[in-house]
Amino acid sequence: MKKRIEVTVNSEKYELAIETHKLLLEFLRDDLGLTGTKESCGMGECGACTVLLDGKAVNSCLILAVDADRKVITTIEGLAKEQNLDPLQESFIKMGAIQCGFCTSGMIMSAKALLNENPNPDISEIKKALAGNICRCTGYKKIIKAVRMVADSQKTR
């Protein structure tokens, strides 16, 4: 069975009929071709599929696409503006917070939600915001430093 939905993804409006059982993750990757959102565990445990839904970080593997009807979704692809990376994306690169890259989009999206809500988080708040994201490569130190770097740069603006 299909249901018609209207969503805004990365500032672009879509209106289409989708299968009622399709996950938001599948909709983003398969229907819209936004493959920066990764599927790993499929159970909401790893955070690789994190996107912003109306500004809040969510695991897209746990949400039906039909439940995103009339909502605003931001994926990792939606952070860059024209040819300019988002400060978080730049910071992750500069700080070496990217190794295999599989968790990176989810980490960045979780950090983005945090910084949107709290532009000056302390280390414990950063750790709490990233707690739902698993990285097997970096040991988290560089990731936390990358988020802190962006927070610190926002204070000087």
**What is the structure's pLDDT at 137?**
85
Residues of the chain with pLDDT under 50: none
**What pLDDT, on the 0 to 100 scale, is given for residue 156?**
62
Mean of the per-residue pLDDT values for the chain? 95
pLDDT digits (tens, 9 = 90+) for 84-130: 999 999 999 999 999 888 899 999 999 999 999 999 999 999 999 99
Separation of CA 39 from chain center:
12
Domain boundaries along the sequence of the chain: 2-78, 87-155
Q: In 120-141, which positions are buried (b, 16+ CB within 10 angstroms) versus exposed (e)?
A: ebeeeebeebbebbbbeebebe
For 87-155, which CATH superfamily applies? [2Fe-2S]-binding domain (1.10.150.120)
**Fold of the 2-78 domain:** Ubiquitin-like (UB roll) (3.10.20)
Whether 2-78 shares its CATH topology with 87-155 is answered no
Four-residue CA torsion sign, 57, 61, 67, 71:
positive
Q: Are strands 50-53 and 72-74 parallel, antiparallel or unpaired?
A: antiparallel
pLDDT at residue 50, as a whole number: 98
Confidence at residue 51, expressed as pLDDT on a 0 to 100 scale: 98
